[in-house]
Structure 1
Amino acid sequence: MSQTPWNAKFEQILRQGLPGLGQGKTPDPDAPMESYGLDSMALIALVGTLESSYGVSLAGEVVVPVHTLTAGQLWGIVSAALQPSWDAGLYPSSDISTHGRTPWAVA
């Protein structure tokens, strides 16, 4: 049995969102999740559960079509959202305001 690239929490959420996965089976990281019964409505619910469980926003991050999205790709998106931003803390609240712009856009 090969190792999955994700943690147990992610797999538990996947199991709840993939009705065709079957008991005791592990999702293939490279197989389209559509083969496990994922459709666009189920993906919305799955993303919502991931966001609330991990405390991240995935808005605009899941851009792969649902019929080709794999569990491995979804885990990559969640993992990236969990990483601190390179500019986190660069501008403390008492410093200059960037008004939501990235530092290279600030004149």
Structure 2
Amino acid sequence: MAQRPWNARFETILRQGLPGLGKDRSPAVDMPLEAYGLDSMALIGIVVALESAYCVSLAGQVTVPVRTLTAGHLWGIVSAALQPAWDTDRHSPAGGAARGQAPWIMA
């Protein structure tokens, strides 16, 4: 079994939204959450709870179908949302956003 990369807060939120998980089990990193009873309505509740707990917006980020979404996928989405977006206010000379460049590289 793969090691769980997430913290206790994330797992607590998952437990609240996964009725089939049970009290003595932890979600597997690569097991579809549907196996633990996740449906689209439960996913909405989990996403709202994660946004509140981690002070992030996950709008448009959870694009994996419910039937294949795993705890590992979801934690990856939350982790990415927690990373600083150094270049969100910078624009390239062509008028588009300058993605992938650290702010100290920009002149």
Alpha carbons of structure 1 residues 73 and 2: separation in structure 2 relative to 1, 3 Å: closer
Cα deviation 1:67-87 (Å, max 9, x = unaligned): 000000000000000000131
- Structure 1: gaps spanning 5 or more residues: 92-101
TM-score (normalised: structure 1): 0.82
Looking at structure 2, the residues matched to 40 and 14 of structure 1 have their Cα atoms a distance apart, in angstroms, of 14
Which residue is 2:73 aligned to?
73
The structure, 1 or 2, with the larger RCO (C-alpha pairs under 8 Å, 6+ apart) is 1
Runs (4 or more) in structure 1 with deviation over 6 Å come to none
Q: Give the RMSD, CA atoms, in angstroms.
A: 1.8
Report the equivalent of 1:18: 18
Q: Structure 2, unaligned stretches of length 5 or more? A: 97-107
Give distance in 2, aligned partners of 1:50 and 1:16.
11
Q: Distance in 2 between matches of 1:64 and 1:3?
A: 21
How many percent of aligned residue pairs carry the same amino acid? 67
CA drift of 1:103 comes to: 1.3
Task: Give yes or no for the alignment of 1:43 onto 2:34.
Answer: no
